[in-house]
A = this chain, B = another copy of it.
Amino acid sequence: MSETEIFKVLADPTRRAILERLSAGEATATDLREGFAITQPAMSQHLAVLRGAGLVSERREGRFAHYRVDPDGFAPLHQWLGRYRAFWPDRIDNLKDLLREMDQ
């Protein structure tokens, strides 16, 4: 997916909130509506957009649609941001350092 699309998708606060909710685990479209002041079609449309961007994957089970975060979808964003990581002397500046952090 293009960087433009991913940024557009994530520019919506509702969609980012959905992702945050899904980061706690899989959920159905109806489960997700809890806590959101939006209609069912709105939620369905948001999920379709997230799915189209590859940030979320769907698992159908009867009449239920289970959604979950698709980590691979974030790769382009991470890669893009990496180009500006060179500007952060204090922060991690390459993957090896990141991995050393994770080893601890």
Known contacts A3-B16, A7-B10, A81-B81; A71/B96 CB under 8 A: no
Contact (Cβ within 8 A) B102 A20: no
Query: Among residues 75 to 104 in chain A, which have CB atoms less than 8 Å away from a CB atom of chain B?
Result: 77-78, 80-81, 83-88, 91-92, 95-96, 98-99, 102
Main secondary structure of the interface of A (DSSP, over half): helix
Contact (Cβ within 8 A) A81 B83: no
Complexed CA–CA distance, A20 and B72 (Å)? 24
Q: Which residues of A contact B (CB under 8 A)?
A: 3-4, 7-8, 10-13, 16, 19-20, 23, 69, 71-72, 74, 77-78, 80-81, 83-88, 91-92, 95-96, 98-99, 102
